[in-house]
């Protein structure tokens, strides 16, 4: 799993057209301004490296799901404006993604300047990984850089197809950093190695658990997915979210937990509510004793203590998935407890990796992004990496000799 791909540092960009895939799939405000620029800022080191090195930068990204048709609400124009402000220089938006008019814009680029192509998903050829579309994209660059880890699990034209026509294909700094932290956590973890997995569905984490279990010293499970395990164990879960079609799988997993030497920790108690609302009536209930009409929406205080104690002396922690409905204040304490435990472990020298998605959102909401070793920008990609899957966007990059 060692990272053996060429990176931006392996190429000279001066005078070259650098076609760079970034992940600018960001949310907008109602007045069409960038609401959260985390992903844009994450790409800045690679962007600045090319601009400062005298490259002519051609950026490409998707935004939302326009399904192969140009739709104004998915235009990248607000992103071009925002990026211009961050860089202190104008970044124009091309009128399309490919074609003669776009080529004209690209050919007029001066060294140290950049242009952003319009949304690659305005063309059906992007998600279909169409050869002609990939070839058309490749003609816009002399070298290719992929700095979009968040889309590395997709075999699309802008992530894999283009590399068949354009070499070298190298990793940007964000891509390289993501793979370094995630790769080292799995391949050569500082011990003890703990994983904290949460979220709504056990089905979404089964492959991660399967891949991680042989490597771990300890495993913490929280979030609504634990109710499927509780029900499989014959415990009362009330109206809590349960994947009925995963009960047998959950039984097999519990059997596996009981036969492993790994320290597996499940919630001891929950915060339950009588409705799915911030203003709901709530109470603390022991695991397995949730009455009908009540739903578990967060782990309880005993679980918080049980989980955070385990992480005090961790060497490596990988966290993916919240402990509860953290978006609602009464049900955010479990997720906050885990985030705080990770921050404390980091301050003691642990390597802590937060695997994107809701966990990253929670950390950002709690203003703790800079208190862990690494926050992944790729939810789905990070999850598939933790599952042990090959990411097409990484496999397509040029190997180091």
Listed in sequence order, the residues at least 6 apart from 203 whose beta carbon sits closer than 8 Å to its beta carbon are: 243, 246, 249
Q: Which long-range contacts does 310-314 make (Cβ < 8 Å, 24+ apart)?
A: 310/194, 310/218, 310/220, 310/263, 310/265, 311/194, 311/196, 311/220, 311/338, 311/341, 311/342, 311/344, 311/345, 312/341, 312/344, 312/345, 313/192, 313/348, 314/192, 314/193, 314/194, 314/218, 314/345, 314/350
For tokens 């000799």, the residue is 401
Pick the catalytic residue: 16, 39, 121, 154? 39
Q: Which helix (H) or strand (E) holds 146?
A: strand 143-146
Pick the catalytic residue: 172, 357, 378, 379? 357
Q: Which helix (H) or strand (E) holds 386?
A: helix 379-386
| Sign of the dihedral defined by the CA atoms of residues 351, 357, 361, 362, in that order | negative
Q: 377, 174 in Cβ contact below 8 A?
A: yes
Burial class (CB in 10 A: 0-12, 13-18, 19+), 130: middle
Q: 157, 121 in Cβ contact below 8 A?
A: no
Strand partners, 286: 269
Question: How far does CA 353 lie from the centroid of its chain?
Answer: 11
Pick the catalytic residue: 54, 68, 183, 380? 380
121 is catalytic: no
Phi, psi of 55 (to 5 degrees): -80, 165
Assigned token pair, 144: 């290719």
Q: Rounded CA gap, 211 and 208, in Å?
A: 5
Pick the catalytic residue: 48, 71, 139, 201? 201
Q: Rounded CA gap, 44 and 31, in Å?
A: 24
39 is catalytic: yes
380 is catalytic: yes
Active site residues: 39, 201, 357, 380
């Amino acid at each position: 799993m060692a990272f053996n791909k060429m990176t931006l540092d392996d190429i000279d960009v001066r005078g070259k057209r650098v076609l760079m895939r970034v992940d600018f799939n960001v949310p907008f405000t109602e007045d069409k301004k960038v609401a959260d620029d985390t992903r844009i800022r994450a790409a800045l080191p690679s962007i600045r490296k090319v601009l400062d090195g005298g490259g002519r930068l051609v950026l490409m990204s998707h935004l939302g799901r326009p399904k192969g048709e140009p739709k104004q609400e998915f235009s990248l124009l607000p992103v071009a404006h925002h990026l211009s402000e961050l860089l202190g220089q104008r970044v124009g938006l091309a009128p399309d993604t490919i074609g003669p008019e776009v080529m004209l814009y690209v050919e007029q680029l001066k060294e140290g300047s950049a242009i952003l192509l319009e949304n690659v998903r305005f063309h059906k050829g992007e998600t279909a990984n169409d050869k002609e579309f990939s070839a058309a994209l490749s003609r816009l660059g002399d070298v290719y850089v992929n700095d979009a880890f968040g889309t590395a699990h997709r075999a699309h034209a802008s992530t894999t197809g283009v590399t068949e026509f354009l070499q070298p294909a190298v990793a940007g700094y964000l891509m390289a950093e993501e793979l370094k932290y995630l790769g080292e956590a799995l391949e050569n973890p500082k011990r003890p190695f703990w994983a904290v997995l949460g979220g709504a569905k056990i089905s979404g984490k089964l492959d991660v658990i399967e891949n991680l279990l042989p490597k771990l010293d300890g495993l913490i499970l929280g979030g609504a997915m634990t109710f499927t395990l509780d029900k499989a164990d014959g415990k009362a879960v009330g109206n809590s979210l349960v994947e009925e079609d995963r009960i047998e799988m959950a039984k097999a997993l519990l059997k596996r937990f009981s036969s492993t030497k790994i320290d597996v920790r499940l919630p001891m108690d929950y915060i339950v509510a009588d409705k799915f609302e911030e203003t709901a009536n709530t109470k603390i209930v022991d695991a397995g004793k949730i009455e009908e009409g009540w739903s578990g929406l967060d782990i309880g205080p005993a679980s918080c203590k049980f989980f955070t104690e385990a992480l005090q002396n961790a060497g490596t922690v990988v966290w993916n998935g919240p402990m509860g409905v953290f978006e609602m204040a009464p049900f955010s304490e479990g997720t906050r407890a885990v985030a705080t435990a990770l921050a404390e472990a980091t301050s003691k020298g642990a390597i802590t990796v937060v695997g994107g998605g809701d966990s990253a959102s929670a950390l950002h909401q709690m203003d703790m992004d800079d208190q862990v070793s690494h926050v992944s920008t790729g939810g789905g990609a990070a999850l598939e990496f933790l599952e042990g899957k090959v990411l097409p966007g990484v496999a397509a990059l040029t190997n180091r000799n």
